[in-house]
Structure 1
Amino acid sequence: MNTNLQFKCTGITEGQKFPLQHTGRGEDQSPEFILANLSPDAKSIAIILDDIKHPLFGIYNHWVIWNIPVLDRIPGNIPAGKVVPSLGNAIQGIGYGRHKYAGPKPPRGKQHAYQFTIYVLDSTITLKENAKKKHLLRAIKPHIIQQGELTGVFE
């Protein structure tokens, strides 16, 4: 696995606070992702967003999306729905009980940490639209050629 994927989220810096527009208290819009150093073997991209410091669950999944075309700029504000036609028919599985991006929204006064993980894959993934994070991780495991993480906080 070539792990040196480099990426940025527009408005989100490692270890810093999520902008309100990307949270459940704002517009709840997914951020734009800028990717660099993509492998020439890349065939698709998957993204997972987890609350990684949830007091009850430890890690709580907020978003799963896969079969994103290989792009160096993944647009923000990805619309809700199982299939995203505007993004090459990418599939949004079930994260936070929904087929959509669900940004940070911890209880007021409680800071949680949220981590985006981007996986660059050597194939597209055949998986039911109602799949959850555990199903996606199992399906992509043999196909990951690059991976990167970015963590932000929100309270």
Structure 2
Amino acid sequence: MRTPYGFEPGCASRAFVRACVAMAIAAMPAASANAGGNFTLSSTDFSDGGKVGPRQIFNDAGCNGPNQSPGLTWRNAPTGTRSFAITIFDRDAPGRGWWHWAVANLPAQVTSLPENASASGALRKLGAIEARNDFNVDGYGGPCPPPGNPHRYVVTVYALRIDALPLAQGRPAALFDREISGSALASAQLTVTYGR
């Protein structure tokens, strides 16, 4: 039970207030502590709330795009970040949604990816690993929803508290997501749409 001021009962006396405040601050998630403001994600190819560009569209299943992963940049990662991970998820796909991309083990000093990092080999050079997406292909698989209403694609970068997730290249994206979520300090997102 907490007192009206949020302290535990043992912290209610003046002698313990300072110690309790210090403990509460130490227990706060690391995501609240960063050097330059909020953890943010931006893209040279996507704008939050905008539409997916033609270069990022999938190249199969009735779609004819170049299937290039988007260029991404993130800033103000929280203190304690030791690596990054990225996912792209279609929240409007039937059933459980659709995983388009999951990348993990990006070194902490990396704060951007160029367009087409998935297919170009840039991720391998960084030591990163990619999941098998729901098209059953390792790496990036761009949007290609069935004809009808546009779908929303959530692009998320995660700051992780560990250097590397215990995963291997080509494991299912849902497994990547579970491991990423368990090690995340903070995340930043943007959402884009695409329909045909």
What TM-score do the two structures reach when normalised by structure 2? 0.70
Gap runs ≥5 in structure 2: 1-28, 33-37, 59-63
Between 1:136-145 and 1:64-73, the stretch displaced more is: 136-145
Give the match's secondary structure for 1:139.
Answer: helix
Distance verdict in 2 for CA 1:134–1:108, change over 3 Å: closer
Identity in percent: 25
Q: Which has the higher contact order (CA 8 A, sep 6+)?
A: 1
Change in 2 beyond 3 A, CA 1:82/1:65: farther
Contact 1:64 1:92 in 2 (8 A): yes
2:53 maps to 1:15: no
Unaligned 5+ segments in structure 1 are none
Question: Which protein has the larger Cα radius of gyration, Structure 1 or Structure 2?
Answer: 2
The answer to which structure has the higher strand fraction is: 1
Residues 82 and 93 in structure 1, CA contact (< 8 A), matched pair in contact too: no
Once the 2 structures are TM-superposed, how far is the Cα of residue 39 of structure 1 from its aligned partner? 2.3
Aligned length: 153
Please, which of 76, 79, 83 is the counterpart of residue 40 of structure 1?
A: 79
- Alignment partners' CA distance in 1, 2:137 and 2:129: 12
- 1:38-74 deviation line (CA, Å, top 9, x unaligned): 22321111111111111x2241111111011222222
56-65 vs 94-103, which moves further: 56-65
Shift in alpha-carbon separation, 1:107–1:130, aligned structure 2, 3 A: same
CA distance in 1, matches of 2:189, 2:158: 9
Identify if the C-alpha distance between structure 1 residues 109 and 141 changes in structure 2 by more than 3 Å, giving closer, same or farther.
closer
SS at match of 1:119: strand
Q: Structure 2: how far apart are the matches of 1:139 and 1:49?
A: 15
User: Partners in 1 of 2:71 and 2:122 — Cα distance?
Assistant: 18
